[in-house]
Structure 1
Amino acid sequence: MSQIKSLFATRLYHASLNEFGSIDPDELEASCFSIAEDDEAGQEWCETEGYPGYTSYASLTDLPWRFPIFGDIQKALDKHVAAFAKDLEFDLADRALVLEDIWINILPPGGTHSSHIHPHSVISGTTYVAMPEGAAALKLEDPRLPMMMAAPTRIKDCREELRSFVYVKPEVGDVLLWESWLRHEVPMNMAEEDERISVSFNYKWE
């Protein structure tokens, strides 16, 4: 009797941030806009690098220390990442996964964030602060794609686990986690007026 099973799974963690915390989404959104308005170095970096909208990635490296709400977010994320690491069955020995960096993203209508990975990290993720109607989903790429030179395309309604790209549309307050080697992107924000706001982060093993 023939058997077919799936191998080499790519796991995606999807939960409510407040499953392990109590973060006020309105306060978080207001904090993101306030920080962006005051962060002249971040604004300058975005303009120089041609980054659409705003990110604190290259300017503010200590958000949890500067702003209490980000300290609360870190406490919640620590628990989410620990739960994901348990699902992944990582053998961490006497070391731990700790927050390496955390940053704000404010993507205006028409803005995109091209395909990328997060080198030198173990777990990466995003929690979602504002997702207006038309805001882009997160696009995840099958890591085996470069090896599929001669493979035919899949049928349109193939199973999710067999697709080359998977689009995940989170809601405000959700957190998504994935292993940092997983290539991902944010397609164009098709919202008519409002920004897509998120907070992204990396965890390293130390």
Structure 2
Amino acid sequence: MPDIKSLFATRLYHAPLSAHTPTIDQDELENSCLVIAGDDEAGQDWCEANDFPGYTSYASLTDLPWRFPIFADLVKALDAHVIEFAKDLQFDLGDGKLVLDSLWINILPEGGIHTSHIHPHSVISGTTYVAMPEGASAIKFEDPRSAMMMAAPTRQKDARDELKSFFYVAPAVGDVLLWESWLRHEVPMNMAEEERISVSFNYGWEK
């Protein structure tokens, strides 16, 4: 019998945010996101100038945990999830540690998309989901080897997850997803009439 292995695995962490304390009140988190979006004129201007659908605080606010206590609690919960994921990835951090370096709100209206991208200068990236109305788009991950598969045939529709060219995750409110920051991903068009709300973040290696 042949010896067939899976090599160079791409790990994806998916868990309830509430698996680690403190417990986050999802209604309060959603309300806080909406209040910030309504008040953040610099973020609104950036979105308009860059044809960004809906709202993101990515280019305007860097102090969410200071502004609203619930975001400080959120960071504590995310820290615990990132520690767990880093153990699974078997990172040798030496005397260093993974530290949050950015945290931002995304509000995606009907018809909005987040095009394919990676998160440079970070180690672990992720998103926690605040509002996912029926019909809201999943997040789509791309096989990082795709650029080197110029002559490869497509995969069968029922291919195993680790062999698919693209993998979709439809998270629920209160879920958190983590992945290594080099993994390309996108949010396809939001087909829901209501807004899709999430909070995304990056962790870097502090040596």
State the TM-score, normalized to the length of structure 1.
0.99
Partner of 2:18: 18
Q: Which runs of 4+ in 1 moved over 2 A?
A: none
Partner of 2:86: 85
Partner of 2:163: 162
Partner of 2:146: 145
Residue type matched to 1:141 in 2? E
Matched position secondary structure for 2:158 = coil
Residue type matched to 2:63 in 1? D
Residue type matched to 1:18 in 2? S
In the TM superposition, residue 156 of structure 1 has moved relative to its aligned partner by 1.3
Matched, 1:107 2:108: yes
Residue type matched to 1:7 in 2? L
Residue type matched to 1:8 in 2? F
Matched position secondary structure for 2:86 = helix
In the TM superposition, residue 132 of structure 1 has moved relative to its aligned partner by 0.4
Structure 1: 5+ residue runs without aligned partners? none
In the TM superposition, residue 150 of structure 1 has moved relative to its aligned partner by 0.7
Partner of 2:28: 27
Query: Identity, % of aligned pairs?
Result: 77
Partner of 1:97: 98
Residues 61-86 of structure 1 deviation map (CA, whole Å, 9 limit, x = unaligned): 01011110000000000000000000
Residue type matched to 1:10 in 2? T
Q: 1-10 or 176-185: which moved more?
A: 1-10
Structure 2: 5+ residue runs without aligned partners? none
**How do residues 1-206 of structure 1 correspond to structure 2 at under 5 angstroms?**
1-21=1-21, 22-191=23-192, 193-206=193-206
Q: 103-112 or 155-164: which moved more?
A: 155-164
Matched position secondary structure for 1:175 = strand
Residue type matched to 1:95 in 2? G
For 1:79 and 1:155, how far apart are their aligned partners in 2?
37
- Could you say what the CA RMSD is over the residues aligned between the two structures, in angstroms? 0.5
In the TM superposition, residue 3 of structure 1 has moved relative to its aligned partner by 1.3
Residues 86-144 of structure 1 deviation map (CA, whole Å, 9 limit, x = unaligned): 00000000000000000000000000000000000000000000000110000000000
Residues 165-185 of structure 1 deviation map (CA, whole Å, 9 limit, x = unaligned): 000000000000000000000
For 2:153 and 2:56, how far apart are their aligned partners in 1?
39
State the TM-score, normalized to the length of structure 2.
0.98
In the TM superposition, residue 42 of structure 1 has moved relative to its aligned partner by 0.4
Residue type matched to 1:106 in 2? I
